[in-house]
Amino acid sequence: MPYAEVNDTRLHIRQNGSGAVALFIHGFPLDSTMWIEQLADLGDVRRCIAPDLRGFGRSAPVTGAPLTMERHAEDLAAVLDLVSAEQADVIGLSMGGYVALAFADSYPDRVRSLALIDTRAGADAPEAKAGRDAMAVRLLDEGRASIADAMDTGLLSPDSGIAVRARLRSMIESCPYETIVGALAGMRDRPDRTAVLRAVSVPAAVIVGEQDAVTPPAEAELMAAAFQDATLTVVPGAGHMTPIEQPVAVNEVLRTLFARTAGATA
Ligand code: MLT
């Protein structure tokens, strides 16, 4: 199933493993290749599914409309329907975390466990909203390289190697302009979902890079405290891209989280 027709679009989907489904949701402006180490390692305990969200990666292009977190959540529910999975372990990084929370908000019974990585539950503050609009203008004036430059220095730990930097840059520079503009609007307008954290009763894990400057450890602490049943892991040697900066540490937390969902079946 490298491609799936869902709702009115076509999504590209990467997967590995068998059994109960784990759904990996990438960040902005990235794609499913950010999860390659998780898919490779965790296939023995889960059917790991990592879609390119609508408009991203190798999924069909989008035009015009904002790419809302709710729209992505609807697409992901349709992906689960396609693979006959009633539930999934839902894992989201950054924007993927916003989507994961929108999913948990709309489909609470479909979440077996929830992992939020380098993300936040709150809405954008007014200055962050203005920053989204400024980024869209800069993108169109100066090209994707301007975003890649900012993210290279702003997203990664200074310890990140050349391969991690190259990988991040490839993802950013291959993301379509219309997707970036649509996603910036969708993230700008997303609501505060702190109440969703409190409503989640399934096992949860919050993971954050110790040097994450975008969604810092203080945000992660707030989220972990709001959940009913969450672990908090602060990962040394990682910035905002913990799954690609420190995949072994992330995989270990996910493996432990999955083990807490005793008796999970497909
Ligand atoms: C991401 O990594 O997905 C973005 O940094 C999220 C954001 O801009 O809020």
pLDDT for 64 equals 79
Mean pLDDT of the chain: 95
* pLDDT of 266 over the 70 cut: no
DSSP state at residue 156: S
Task: Give the pLDDT score at 65.
Answer: 78
Ligand 1 within 6 A of 243 CB?
no
> How much of the chain, in percent, has pLDDT values that exceed 70?
98
CA of 135 to the centre of ligand 1 (A): 12
Amino acid 7: pLDDT: 94
Question: Does the residue 93 lie in any domain?
Answer: yes
Give me ligand 1 centre to Cα 95, in Å.
Answer: 5
For 82-120, the pLDDT digits (tens) are 999 999 999 999 999 999 999 999 999 999 999 999 999
Q: What is the DSSP letter of 57?
A: T
Lowest mean per-residue pLDDT among 5-9, 61-65, 149-153, 234-238: 149-153
The pLDDT of residue 166 is 93
- Average pLDDT value for residue range 37-42: 98
pLDDT score recorded for residue 158: 87
Q: pLDDT value at position 137?
A: 94
pLDDT 10s digits, 164-207:
999 999 999 999 999 999 999 999 999 999 999 999 999 999 99
| Residue 243 lies in domain | 3-259
* CB 28 less than 6 A from any atom of ligand 1: yes
Q: Residue 265 pLDDT > 90, yes or no?
A: no
In this prediction, residues 150-174 reach a mean pLDDT of: 89
Any atom of ligand 1 within 6 Å of the Cβ of 121: no
Q: Is the CB of 119 under 6 A from ligand 1?
A: no
In a domain, residue 251? The reply is yes
- By the 8 A CB rule, do 227 and 220 touch? no
The per-residue pLDDT for 153 is 78
* Residue 94 in contact with ligand 1 by CB distance below 6 A: yes
Q: Which two tokens stand for residue 176?
A: 């379509």
The verdict on residue 57 lying in a domain is yes
What count of residues does the chain have? 266
Share of the chain above pLDDT 90, in %: 91
Q: How many CA atoms lie within 13 A of 181 on its CB side?
A: 15
249 or 65: which leads in pLDDT: 249
Residue 264 in domain: no
Does ligand 1 lie within 6 Å of residue 214's CB atom? yes
| C-alpha 94 to ligand 1 mean position (Å) | 5
- Please tell me the predicted confidence (pLDDT) of residue 31: 98
Residue 227 belongs to some domain of the structure:
yes
Q: Write the CATH number for 206.
A: 3.40.50.1820
**DSSP type of residue 197:** H
Domain-embedded: residue 265: no
Question: How many domains, in total, are found in the chain?
Answer: 1
Minimum-distance ligand 1 atom for the alpha carbon of 28: 3
- Vertex 138: Cα angle to 137 and 140 (nearest 5): 65
If one residue of 32, 67, 68, 95 were mutated to test the ligand 1 pocket, choosing by the most ligand atoms within 8 A of its CB, it would be: 95
Predicted local distance difference test score (pLDDT) of residue 159: 84
CA of 118 to the centre of ligand 1 (A): 9
- Asked if residue 266 is part of any domain, the answer here is no
